[in-house]
Amino acid sequence: METILYDTQTFCPICTIINRKGLLLKAAIVVSRDDDKVYLKCCCDQNHSKQFETLYCSSLKFFKRILSFDPIIGNRFGAVKDIEGMSKYNDGNNQIKVSKNPTVSNFVLEFSIFQNSMFLSDDEIKHNIQQFQTFYPKNRKFVLKVIARGSNNINGINDKVKYISSLLKGYPILLEVTLERLNEIGKLNNSCLLGTKVYPAVKYYLKQGDESTFIRDINQLLVVLREYSDMQCVVTIALERKFANLTDILRLLRKSNDVIRFIILSLERPPKQLVETLTIHNNNNNNDNNNNNNNNNNNDEILTCNINDPYELIQEIERATEGSINGDDFYPLNVGQALEPMLNMMGYGLYSIKPSSYCSFATCLVNTSTIESRPINRILNIGKLYYDLLPLLPELEEKIGFFNGLKLKSILKSCNIPGVQLPNLFDYLTDRSKSEITRKVIDQTQILIIHNNMDLASLDLKRRCNCSVETKIKDGFISSCTGCI
């Protein structure tokens, strides 16, 4: 039995990837079945002998819990206008065009300073930075991720990031390069990492069997970064199936909370591998159909060879950490919007943390003198905190005030987990005499994120409407994970 969870649009894998007809958006549904799994099912209007579908989540329970925090996808018939609004991506010939501007909901803007085998000029960089700022109200900030893929010019990268830092004061700037280049930049006497709010970010493509190499490389980087004071680093590990053994890797990263602030596990499928897999399965199906005289019996058959299941990675994390982190510890990252006013109150600025709930899941790993790398939901009832704070957010964004302060204090107290001894969190957030202690706890806290990427064979347009990370290209902006829309 099949139950429709919500309607969306997607690219037909056969039309788009195998038959190369372009980026053709087709109606789609996300469904659950008796096996307690969730599937993304393309309803293509072409008469394919078989349809491909994507295994979307191997745990219906987890999927429903995550979607319960999403007011758009959680409502099966919600966000119709948002999807219709995506028609701006369509040129009338079923070919996708890109958006000209990001929206206020974009938390991160990705900006390449190295294009067409050369660095952008200072004037080009300045024009782009000024343009980025016009997309947001004056009270809102964004994170700028700077990339320079294809360039080995360490001094050139360093100088351009320093220039960007001089233009974009008060905004966090992530410099994402390879481990080798980050090591070299970190050793420069005039390193851009000395600048205010410039943070190193590294992305590592980890394959099974490369675990010891990764640990060696990260340890070398940590030696360099620990020469800086108050350094905060983002480590993104791109994973493909079959997963590498994460036991020693997560142990090292969690113990390095003095430097590593964000640990991002990014589920990615190499495009070449994806095309080859779908092509092989399609050819096998065609051969089977040619050998079967009764083709009518095969018209409605569905083939699940396309897997984009984040819960499989969550199970691997639980195994690698011996249960110290499990599926119940993860909440959709958009729950972070409940923390927006408190982060602003503490001087970090006001950001929009509202990605689609199924795009990223996170947990805060709290470290204190008595607690070591404990998921925050084992200390605070995060679900209750989110729902209790949600009605207050519009008022808190403008001003905390006396009465809202009392409400906030009461909410925080009511979210304590029974049996867990906690101080008055509100006082630590608002009392300036305790700000140093509060910042120390925050600076020791890590955020572990699972980035559930979409690609050409698993696009969910309903999720894409709430994309939080967009990449600047020549004609506008595209989602950083799909790379096309």
According to the model, what pLDDT value does residue 299 have?
Answer: 41
According to the model, what pLDDT value does residue 297 have?
Answer: 45
Amino acid identity of residue 258, one-letter, is: D
CA distance 446 to 469: 20
Distance of CA 143 to the CA centre of its chain: 13
According to the model, what pLDDT value does residue 191 have?
Answer: 98
CA distance 393 to 408: 10
Amino acid identity of residue 452, one-letter, is: N
CA distance 171 to 144: 7
Residue keyed to tokens 């095969």:
298
Q: What is the mean pLDDT of residues 317-331?
A: 97
**Residue 346 confidence class, pLDDT cut points 50, 70, 90:** low
Neighbouring residues of 393: CB distance < 8 A, sequence distance ≥ 6: 337, 338, 340, 341
Residue keyed to tokens 């990705």:
110
According to the model, what pLDDT value does residue 261 have?
Answer: 95
Q: What is the mean pLDDT of residues 57-83?
A: 75
pLDDT tens digits along 405-441? 788 888 888 888 887 776 666 665 666 666 676 677 7
According to the model, what pLDDT value does residue 172 have?
Answer: 94
Half-sphere exposure of 420 (CA within 13 A, CB side): 18
Q: What is the mean pLDDT of residues 216-230?
A: 95
- pLDDT beyond 80 at 132: yes
- pLDDT beyond 50 at 87: no
Distance of CA 382 to the CA centre of its chain: 19
CA distance 362 to 375: 10
Orientation of helix 247-255 relative to helix 310-320, angle to 10°: 70
- Domain definitions of the chain by residue range: 2-96+270-307, 330-449
Strands 469-473 and 108-112: parallel
- pLDDT beyond 80 at 104: no
Strands 2-11 and 25-33: antiparallel
Q: What is the mean pLDDT of residues 335-353?
A: 77
Whole-number average pLDDT of the chain? 84
Q: Is 108 helix (H, G, I), strand (E, B) or coil?
A: strand
CA distance 3 to 40: 12
Neighbouring residues of 290: CB distance < 8 A, sequence distance ≥ 6: none
pLDDT tens digits along 111-130? 999 999 999 999 999 999 99
Percent of the residues in the chain that have a pLDDT greater than 70, as a whole number: 82
Which of the given ranges, 23-37, 93-107, 206-220, 228-242, has the highest pLDDT on average?
A: 206-220
User: Can you give the pTM of this predicted structure?
Assistant: 0.88
Q: What is the mean pLDDT of residues 455-479?
A: 81
Distances (CA, A) of 416 to 220, 370, 380: 40, 17, 5
